[in-house]
Amino acid sequence: MSDLIQRVPDLRGQLRDRLERRLRLGIYPEDVKLTEHSVAREFDVSRTPAREALAMLAREGLLERIGRGYVRARFSPQDIRHVFEARRRLEPYAVRLVAAKAAPAELEALRSAFDLLAGQVEDAHRYMDALAALRRPLFEPSRNEHLVRLLSEYEAQIGYIRTKTLADLETRKISVEGNRRLVAAICAHDEETAAREMLNLLLLAEAASMNVI
């Protein structure tokens, strides 16, 4: 029996999160077709939460409906460029706000999240998990709920891209050093440097993405 599922009202939400992680980390093959039956069997749940979880991921743009099942959404080079264009506008501004507003406890949470990231650089799956976890303390101290919600909408696309780029150890090493400089700037309340380091990270990530898509 899967260790996933606590028998609680938000069963579909738990299932959605587990499926999203498998897709984000590339655990499922590129050509996998997920159905409510296969998901229900894998996680030892009924078909109703399986169907609802798959539909949630389709609405978020991570899956596409094909006949009776779902496949991983495909992102073209233009799709990727558009995602990064939006991120270049939003994320440097967000970290500028965080550098200006973050309280000591929030900065400590950010440092802790980065320390976890730095300790996982040798393992691609653990690094991607830690990088996804870093985004919450990186943006929430902006005190702008609408901005944080908007940034979270890109997570599906970002996760897909990361499965391609962060499989490479050298890319992970570049990523961790860039994030080290970013976190240091935020903790120093240096808004200009934080925005610049965020932009640099995005430019590097976009270039790496174009090489693998």
Residues 87 and 188 in one domain: yes
| pLDDT value of residue 62 | 85
Please report, rounded to a whole number, the percentage of residues in the chain having pLDDT higher than 70.
94
* Domain assignment present for 110: yes
Residues 88 and 174 in one domain: yes
Q: What is the CATH number of the domain that holds 101?
A: 1.20.120.530
pLDDT at 24 over 90: no
106 alpha carbon, distance to own chain's centre: 20
Distances (CA, A) of 132 to 40, 69, 174: 26, 27, 16
Summarize the confidence of residues 77-90 as an average pLDDT. 91
* Domain assignment present for 186: yes
Decide if 126 contacts 27 (C-beta within 8 A).
Answer: no
92 sits in the region (left: phi over 0; alpha: psi -120 to 50; else beta) called alpha
Confidence of residue 161 (pLDDT cuts 50, 70, 90): confident
Residues 115 and 142 in one domain: yes
Residues 109 and 44 in one domain: no
| pLDDT value of residue 1 | 41
pTM, full prediction: 0.82
Confidence of residue 186 (pLDDT cuts 50, 70, 90): very high
Rounded distance between C-alpha atoms, residue 151 and residue 139, angstroms: 8
* Domain assignment present for 206: yes
- Structural domain including 31 reads 11-72
| pLDDT value of residue 39 | 96
| pLDDT value of residue 7 | 52
| pLDDT value of residue 156 | 64
Confidence of residue 133 (pLDDT cuts 50, 70, 90): very high
* Domain assignment present for 128: yes
Confidence of residue 4 (pLDDT cuts 50, 70, 90): low
Which H/E stretch holds residue 18?
helix 11-24
Decide if 30 contacts 167 (C-beta within 8 A).
Answer: no
Q: What is the CATH number of the domain that holds 42?
A: 1.10.10.10
Residues 21 and 123 in one domain: no
Indicate the residue type of 148: V
Residues 20 and 116 in one domain: no
Nearest Cα to 141, choosing from 184, 182, 96, 176?
A: 96
Average pLDDT along the chain: 90
61 sits in the region (left: phi over 0; alpha: psi -120 to 50; else beta) called left
Residues 175 and 129 in one domain: yes
Summarize the confidence of residues 3-10 as an average pLDDT. 56
Q: How many domains does the chain have?
A: 2
Max Cα separation, the chain?
53
Rounded distance between C-alpha atoms, residue 199 and residue 128, angstroms: 19
Residues 65 and 123 in one domain: no
Torsion angle of alpha carbons 122, 125, 128, 134, nearest 10°? -80
Decide if 103 contacts 194 (C-beta within 8 A).
Answer: no
